[in-house]
Structure 1
């Protein structure tokens, strides 16, 4: 499932490409026809993300709310004014790395979007570009009040890092007997963390993933929040989850190869990069959990 950094990058891309534009909004698949009709012909005035939720705000006080889930993805394209990723989402299909395509720069004779391919839930079209959504768990047109209700159910987002968020996370985590690895995946406790960030920040902080929240020292919870802010911010910048420092990379320039990018995620059975102990794998909450039994024993 795309993690919070990808959704924040989506919000930024929508702002860069479509903010201030009057959009044609359609549902080629047909499943979102009523919701699309409410937005069709209106100007996009803002795009924000909170955790894994994307909110596209239109001038008529309605909002397109999208949660990509496991299989959702946005595809983009346009003329020479379009810049950015051509696909964000659905890691199982397009890979963790965003797919980039600046072909518009070489195609000044842009004649509009291509015919829809597959089950396109919603298509947004401006005079200069287009965006198609497929496979999302949630795609709905909602009011400001309904958006506020969604946000009220979510915990603080590390990529907003607003005043009080750190302490809100600390208080919520320390109040539960749930293992800290499960708490990091609880969107009511912290919004936007997924399976990769969960495994990596726990390793980086040397925390036993099975430690109950009630046993976590408050200062350790604050450091965990701070590290999550740091690595997710890197993800927004890079368009990839990279949690290892350059000394672990075989590449001499740019970002590391995928196999060098993580400490424990999907490295079960391989030697821990720090101590050599085989990385462990278990299931927690129907998701795979990776950790080093030696480095994360406290």
Structure 2
């Protein structure tokens, strides 16, 4: 599932493609036909990302809400669109661009009340200027659950997925199993700052890179990482391999229904 940096990149791309333009909307697949009919002829005013949710705000007072989930993806380009291939849930076109959406978990129209309800149930998004890390920390500090599961809870921190959570905890030297109530302010503040900076870098690069300069392949002489997720990471999906810092074998365990990765020596 795409993490928050990807959704923020998409929001910026879609604003550049369609912002201020009148769109034509179709649902070649048919599953969003009624919604597409309501969008056709509307002008896109603004796009917004909140956590893993993408919002297109239109001048008709309605908002297109998309959650990509595990299988959702966008494809687009300039000029005339190609003949739809496969299960295209939504096609947007303008005089300048076209955009296809396939396989999302959610593709629906929201009214302003729906949008407010979505924002209310989401936690702080590290990539948003209106983020409230103090509110997120208050929830974490009250909980006996593991800090990894709390950071993955979108009602506490919106947008961070398994890669960022594993990596930011490694960089902070905090084991994923530590109860949230044992995270003190001196640990939370740099953890939040680091998460925000890593995710901002993800927006800039279009991939997740978390390894500090001194541990990069070109410095240490190790082979670059080869993985479909891309980017250089410390522990994510590196179970059984040596830690890039201390050479201890990276551990993996199920935590709150998700695989979690950490270094037992660097995250005691």
Is the shorter-chain TM-score for this pair beyond 0.5, marking a shared fold?
yes
Which of 139, 145, 168 aligns to 1:172? It is 139
Partner in structure 2 of residue 218 of structure 1: 185
Whole-Å Cα distance in 2 between the matches of residues 157 and 59 of structure 1? 26
Q: How far 1:175 sits from its partner (Å)?
A: 1.2
Whole-Å Cα distance in 1 between the matches of residues 24 and 218 of structure 2? 44
The unaligned stretches of length 5 or more in structure 1 are 80-111
Partner in structure 2 of residue 50 of structure 1: 50
Whole-Å Cα distance in 2 between the matches of residues 3 and 251 of structure 1? 27
Whole-Å Cα distance in 2 between the matches of residues 286 and 135 of structure 1? 23
* 1:66-215 correspondence to structure 2 within 5 Å: 66-79=66-79, 112-162=80-130, 165-215=132-182
The unaligned stretches of length 5 or more in structure 2 are none
Whole-Å Cα distance in 2 between the matches of residues 70 and 18 of structure 1? 25
Q: What is the total number of aligned residue pairs between the two structures?
A: 261
2:263 matched to 1:292? Answer: yes
User: Residues 74-128 of structure 1: CA distance to partner in whole angstroms, max 9, x if unpaired?
Assistant: 111114xxxxxxxxxxxxxxxxxxxxxxxxxxxxxxxx10011110100110111
Indicate the SS of the match to 2:133: helix
The range that moved more, 243-252 or 275-284, is: 243-252
Whole-Å Cα distance in 2 between the matches of residues 258 and 57 of structure 1? 39
Whole-Å Cα distance in 2 between the matches of residues 75 and 251 of structure 1? 34
Indicate the SS of the match to 1:243: coil
2:202 matched to 1:231? Answer: no
Whole-Å Cα distance in 1 between the matches of residues 40 and 196 of structure 2? 36
Q: How far 1:162 sits from its partner (Å)?
A: 2.7
Q: How far 1:247 sits from its partner (Å)?
A: 2.7
Report the TM-score when normalising by structure 2.
0.94
Q: How far 1:144 sits from its partner (Å)?
A: 1.1
Indicate the SS of the match to 1:274: coil
Q: How far 1:248 sits from its partner (Å)?
A: 2.5
Partner in structure 2 of residue 3 of structure 1: 3
Whole-Å Cα distance in 2 between the matches of residues 243 and 146 of structure 1? 35
2:228 matched to 1:273? Answer: no
- CA-atom RMSD, angstroms? 1.4
Report the TM-score when normalising by structure 1.
0.85
2:228 matched to 1:261? Answer: no
2:124 and 2:158 in contact (8 A); partners too: yes
2:215 and 2:245 in contact (8 A); partners too: no
